[in-house]
Amino acid sequence: MQKPFILFLLLGLSAFAQKRPATDRPNLIVILTDDQGYADVGFNGSKDIPTPGIDRIASNGVVFESGYVSYAVCGPSRAGLITGRYQDRFGFSRNPLLAPKDPTMGLPLSEETLADLLKKADYKTGVLGKWHLGAHPSLTPTKRGFDEFYGFLEGGHRYFPEEWTLEESQVKAQYDGYRTKLTRNDKPAENEETDYLTDALSREALDFVSRHQEEPFFLYLAYNAPHAPLQATDKYLSRFAHIEDPKRKTYAAMVSAVDDGVGALLDLLEELELEENTLVFFLSDNGGPTKDNASNNAPLRGFKSDFFEGGVRVPFAMQWKGQIPTGIRYEHPVISLDIFATASALAQVKPKNELDGVNLIPYLTGKNSNPPHQALYWRNFDRNRFAIRTADSKMILEQELEFLFDIQADLSESKNVISLDLNRKNALSEKIEHWKKLLQDPAFLGLLEDKEYNKLHPDRFTPDVAEND
C-alpha cells in the first residue's frame, strides 16, 4: 500500500500544521460493511473469524450491544443512515432498481445527506464503494454532497476486476451492474483497477485520509464485502484452513480483507496523530443472510430481510479517543440514524430536515444516563410488517403473525408472550400507529418488481439520443 512513502510525505506536512482542537469539527469516518452477521466480529465473540483490526475500534471506544439499523436490507438501511431519518418518511421503502434514467429511483432531492450537511461546515467529503441511493445523473454521489467518489452505483458488485467487462452505459439488465467498471467522481475511472475490490477500497481510504488530513473530512467507506457473490483471493483464503465449509471459508476471507483495511486505516490515523480528531463508526448495513453468504447472527433469531433481531441488530462500534471512555459496552438501544445527529451536533451545523437520531456523545460520556431512545421502529411496506423496540420489549406485527418478546431476558426471541400481555401489546401498537403517521408510501418500485418495471419503462437502459451523438 505504499505506506512508508505516504507517511514520509504527510508527517513532514503535519509537523507544520496547526492542529484543530479535538472537538472543533472532528473528522468522521463511517465504515459500513454489507450483510455481515452479528456474531462475525471479534468484539461480538467470533471464534473462527479473527477481526483484530475492527476490534481495535471497540477497544478504543464503545461496542453498541444493541446497535440497530433502520431496515433489514441494503438500500433503505443506507437511505436511513445517510439522512439520519427513517427512510419511510420519504418513501425509500424498497431496494432501488438500477435505473439510470429515472430520477425518482433513489434518494429524493428533498433529503439532505450527511455529506451535504458537513459541506456546510467546510468538510471534505468522500464515499468509497457501494452507493445504492440512485443511478440517475441527478442522484449520484457528487450531486449529493460528496466531493469524491470511487465505486459503483449498484446494489452489489463482483470482486475481481477481470470480471468487470461493462461500462455503465453498456448495462442492459439489473444484474449487469455487478460487472461494471468502477466509477470515479461519477465518470468512468481513468485507470483500470487491478486490485481485489476490497483491497482497492481500503487503498483509496488511506489515500483520502492522507490527502485531507489537514482539513475536517468525512469519509463514508461503504465496503460491499461480505455481500454475495462470495469471492476472495488466496491471500485471505489461506488464513482459514481451519474452516471446512467452502462458503463459510470464503465469507471469512472476505471479512478478513475488510479487517486488514480497517486495521491499516486505524494505523494511519494513529501515525498522523488524528485519532483524537476523528470519530470512527463501524457497522453492517443489515443482519447476515445466513443461507446466502454463510454469515452467523448468533445468538439472534432471524436474518437479513426480517425484523427479528438477526435482521436489524448489527455489529456496531465507535471510537473517539480522548473524548469518550475506552473499552465500554453500551447496552441501551442505538440506531444508525444517530450517526447523522451526532455529526450534526459536533460540526455545529443545523440539519435541513427533522432528524430521528440523537447525538450519542452525552450518553457515552455519562453526562446523560437515560436511554437515547424511548422506542425504535421499523416498517416493511410490502408485507405490512411493523416492529418496535423499547427498553424491555420487542414487538413484530404482520397481519396474523404477532410477536412480543421480553427482549432483555430473551435476546434470542424464543418465547412469544403476546397472548399473555394484551395491555403491553396495545400500548406498543398505539406507539406504532402514532409513528406511522410520519410515513409516506413507497416512492418507487423495488428490486422484486424488476419485470414490472421493465414493462413500464421499456427504454430503461437505452442510451439517450444525445449520448449517441
Q: Which residues bind Ca ion (CB under 5 A)?
A: 34-35, 74, 285-286
The minimum distance between CB 35 and Ca ion, in angstroms, equals: 4
Q: How far apart are the C-alpha atoms of 297 and 224, rounded to whole Å?
A: 18
DSSP secondary structure string for all residues of 92-112: --SPBP--TT-TTSBS-TTSP
**227 given a catalytic annotation:** no
**74 given a catalytic annotation:** yes
The number of helices, as runs of H, and strands, as runs of E, in the chain is: 14, 16
Q: How far apart are the C-alpha atoms of 118 and 349, rounded to whole Å?
A: 7
The minimum distance between CB 227 and Ca ion, in angstroms, equals: 6
Q: Which amino acid is at 273?
A: E
The minimum distance between CB 118 and Ca ion, in angstroms, equals: 24
Nearest to 188 by CA among 205, 172, 170: 170
Q: Which is nearer to Ca ion, 219 or 228 (CB)?
A: 228
Q: How far apart are the C-alpha atoms of 278 and 406, rounded to whole Å?
A: 37
Paired sense of beta strands 217-222 and 278-284, if any: unpaired
Q: Which is nearer to Ca ion, 317 or 404 (CB)?
A: 317
Quickly count: other Cβ atoms within 10 Å of residue 34's Cβ: 27
The minimum distance between CB 98 and Ca ion, in angstroms, equals: 16
DSSP secondary structure string for all residues of 382-425: TTTEEEEE-SSEEEEEETTEEEEEETTT-TT-----GGG-HHHH
Q: Which is nearer to Ca ion, 35 or 112 (CB)?
A: 35
Q: Which is nearer to Ca ion, 275 or 285 (CB)?
A: 285
How far, CA to CA in Å, does 342 sit from each of 334, 365, 370, 452?
12, 13, 16, 40
Q: Which is nearer to Ca ion, 223 or 403 (CB)?
A: 223
How far, CA to CA in Å, does 162 sit from each of 192, 197, 427?
10, 11, 56
Choosing from 132, 157, 212, 227, which is the catalytic residue?
Answer: 132
Cβ contact 287:300 at 8 Å = yes
Q: What are phi and psi of 2, to 5 degrees?
A: 55, 35
Cα dihedral angle (247, 317, 32, 158), rounded to 10 degrees? Answer: -20
**What would you report as the CA-atom Rg of the chain, rounded to the nearest whole angstrom?**
21
Q: How far apart are the C-alpha atoms of 283 and 336, rounded to whole Å?
A: 8
Q: Which is nearer to Ca ion, 226 or 261 (CB)?
A: 226
Choosing from 74, 157, 227, 373, which is the catalytic residue?
Answer: 74
User: Which residue has its beta carbon closest to Ca ion?
Assistant: 74
Q: Is the peptide bond before 226 cis (omega within 30 degrees of 0)?
A: yes
Cell numbers at 309, concatenated: 433481531
Quickly count: other Cβ atoms within 10 Å of residue 78's Cβ: 30
Q: Known catalytic residues?
A: 74, 132
